[in-house]
Amino acid sequence: MIYSSEFQQIVEFRRSNRKFDPQVEVPSEVITKSLERAVLSPNSSNMQLWEFYWIHSPEMLQKFVPVCMNQQAAKTAKEMVVFVTRKDKWRDRAKWNLSRIKETIQGEPTEIQKKGLLYYGKIMPLLYMNDFLGVTTFVRCTISFFAGLTRPFFRAGGSTQQRIMVHKSCALAAQTFMLSIAAEGFHSCPMEGFDEMRVKRLLKLPSSAEINMIISVGKGTEAGIWGPRFRVPNKEVIFKV
């Protein structure tokens, strides 16, 4: 409970601010530190199928204004970060995790190490692999169906489910980033209103990459807050069972 009150202050301080003070710069170390904290976010199977693009130069910031639909949060941003999902890098990340486990093995692998080798060597390829004819998706769904008849079992699916998994992980990183920005005394605004095709073109991303969200950063102003914060009553969204 040592940090409970401090965390409460950070959560309450974090607001989506849509207009930043043009006179106040954001120190580079604030963005660097917040991105490093975002990397520590929880993510599915430690696959880390994400990339974070820090938009820093004035020239690039200006290019992002129209592709972000000329939002005030984009026009006045001192910095931006584009959170990108990279489902297409699953092979590289599975191999990376596999190599980390192999580095820890000295002699006969322990049971945990054996499970890790199986997980990243066999299960991850089965979970993420796709083919033109949809054979692997059929195999995943078939295994899930029959195994799930007698016991709880992870219901693996196709490309849509894979996309959901990587976007959830990336969104967790984005939230960590925004809370970190708030902890440093600055403000942010997550933007979903953007032209994804043009954003990917500006960042020279492959078609397989997807934009999770774009977060603008700066020192917020009163004009950037669109009224008091309000939420649906807790009793409508929080259930104790």
Residue ranges, CATH 3.40.109.10, the chain: 4-88+170-224
Confidence grade of residue 218 (pLDDT, cut at 50, 70, 90): very high
How far apart CA 102 and CA 108 sit, in angstroms, is 11
What is the per-residue pLDDT across 129-166, written as a single tens digit (0 to 9) for each? 998 889 999 999 999 999 999 999 999 888 999 999 99
Homologous superfamily of the 4-88+170-224 domain (CATH):
NADH Oxidase (3.40.109.10)
Q: Three-state SS for 155?
A: coil
Q: Report the run of H or E that residue 217 belongs to, with start and end.
A: strand 210-218
Whether the pLDDT of residue 40 is over 80: the answer is yes
Whether the pLDDT of residue 2 is over 80: the answer is no
Which tokens go with 108? 């006969």
Whether the pLDDT of residue 89 is over 90: the answer is yes
> What mean pLDDT, rounded, does the chain reach?
96
How far apart CA 161 and CA 127 sit, in angstroms, is 10
Asked if residue 125 lies in contact with residue 94, where contact means CB atoms within 8 angstroms, the answer is yes
